[in-house]
């Protein structure tokens, strides 16, 4: 008799487990309200950004010669210049140590930063403008300032000329 009760309990429990297992996946399934689409869009944007960075480094390698065209020098050098522009000196110097360890030319950092400064102010809210300008100056440190940033200031904004005594 005990055997029958145990077997009936076993069958009942097994049947209950089977019902729960078969009904659980639809109950736990996520609705298609856009969360999956948002994640997919974010992944696509990240892949495009990585491809863009890869293309920029490859472009620098094609347009330049010497150690400054090495991918590690391009990547670290542009980061150093961007960090210097944002006044993050500690991080810039740590990156500069790595830049030197890879045998990259320090004179190219100086020339690129000089070019970046000559270009004039950059809107701090748009990160791409700093990255784009740092990339353009990395490829051609002798890049001349654009017409808009080279426009002379109005006389009222200029500093007064020193007077001779």
Choice among 56-60, 102-106, 114-118, 161-165 with the minimum mean pLDDT: 161-165
Greater confidence, 41 or 102?
102
- Which residues does 144 contact at the CB level (< 8 Å), separation at least 6? 118, 150
Instruction: Confirm if 137 and 143 have CB atoms less than 8 A apart.
Output: yes
Alpha helices by DSSP H, the chain: 2-28, 35-63, 71-85, 89-101, 106-118, 127-139, 147-150
Mean pLDDT over 117-122 rounds to: 88
162: pLDDT strictly greater than 70:
no
Greater confidence, 131 or 9?
131
Q: How confident is the model at residue 12 (pLDDT cuts 50, 70, 90)?
A: low
Q: How confident is the model at residue 98 (pLDDT cuts 50, 70, 90)?
A: very high
- In this structure, the number of other CB atoms found within 10 A of the CB of residue 150 comes to 11
pTM above 0.85, yes or no: no
Phi, psi of 156 (to 5 degrees): -70, -25
What pLDDT score was predicted for residue 38? 83
Instruction: Confirm if 36 and 30 have CB atoms less than 8 A apart.
Output: yes
Q: What is the pLDDT of residues 44-75, one digit of tens each?
A: 888 887 888 778 888 887 888 888 899 999 99
């Amino acid at each position: 008799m005990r055997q029958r009760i145990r077997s009936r309990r076993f069958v009942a429990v097994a049947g209950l487990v089977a019902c729960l297992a078969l009904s659980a996946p639809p109950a736990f399934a996520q609705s298609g309200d856009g969360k999956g689409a948002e994640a997919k869009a974010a992944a696509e944007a990240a892949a495009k950004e990585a491809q863009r960075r890869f293309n920029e480094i490859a472009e620098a390698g094609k347009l330049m010669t010497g150690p400054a065209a090495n991918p590690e020098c391009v990547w670290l050098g542009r980061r150093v210049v961007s960090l210097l522009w944002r006044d993050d000196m500690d991080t810039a110097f740590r990156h500069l140590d790595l830049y030197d360890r890879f045998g990259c030319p320090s004179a190219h950092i100086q020339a690129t930063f000089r070019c970046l400064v000559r270009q004039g102010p950059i809107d701090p809210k748009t990160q791409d403008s700093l990255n784009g300008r740092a990339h353009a100056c990395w490829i051609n440190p002798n890049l001349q300032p654009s017409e808009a940033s080279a426009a002379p200031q109005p006389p009222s904004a200029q500093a007064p000329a020193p007077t001779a005594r």
